[in-house]
Amino acid sequence: MQFRFIRRRRSSLAEPLIPTPEMVKRKYRKGTFVGRFFRHIFEHRKINRALAGGISLAVIATSYFPPANSVSAQGTEETTIEAEVSLATEKSVQYPVSPVKVTQGYTFYHPGVDFDGLTGDTIKSIKPGKVSAVSYSKYAYGNSVLIEHANGVSSLYAHLSKIEVETGQEVTMEDNIGEMGASGRAFGDHLHLEVYDHGKAINPLTVLR
């Protein structure tokens, strides 16, 4: 095994803080003399230690002293002003029944969605709109309500046991448009919901998602 003795580099702490012109020229090859002069000062370990210590002292000081804007002057009362911010969100669409239980989905031979429930359960509009048609029948959709919404969207609520709106009435999402039932061609209590986009039936769950 061979050992080599390497001369230890001189610590930068041993270098003077203010360099001589010869030291600046010898240590730094590039840049102006003024630039190289200040580079030596800023890179000196004594300066780095001083900066690090100053930052540490500043952090410690701020932990013991409160911010200036929170300290009240002598003889005056400290006043705290809190601005109350109220954020209100409004639903744009909702399910027509609660709780929600889907018993039959949308297919090409069943252009709607069936929701399970009991006769008398409240039915609400999925979106604000205007009642465009009300039908009382013992066949097909049975007692049903058609509501026109914005942007060419409409919704049909079928097999109702009771209708609580009339044609031309404006309805909100809080209004009860009817009650669930089994009128028309229905096998058991449920709500049959259909949604149309410019007259074309679409899957209601794409709107209710």
Domain ranges of the chain: 12-64, 102-208
Range with the lowest mean pLDDT among 42-51, 149-158, 159-168?
42-51
Considering the domain 102-208, what is its CATH architecture? Distorted Sandwich (2.70)
Residues 31-57 have a mean pLDDT of 56
pTM (2 d.p.): 0.58
Residue 60: pLDDT above 90?
Answer: no
Enclosing H/E stretch for 129 = strand 129-135
List, as one string, the DSSP characters of 174-208: SSEEEEEB--SS-SSSEEEEEEEETTEEE-HHHHH
Query: Given this model, what pLDDT does residue 209 score?
Result: 73
The encoded tokens of residue 152 equal 């060419």
Rg (CA), the chain: 40
Residue 35: pLDDT above 90?
Answer: no
Percentage, residues of the chain above pLDDT 90: 55
Distance CA 102, CA 9 (A): 80
Q: Which residues pair with residue 201 across a beta bridge? A: 196
Residues 3-25 have a mean pLDDT of 59
209 or 171, which is more confident?
Answer: 171
Residue 27: pLDDT above 70?
Answer: no
Query: Given this model, what pLDDT does residue 59 score?
Result: 44
pLDDT band at 68 (very low <50, low <70, confident <90, very high): very low
Residues 135-159 have a mean pLDDT of 96
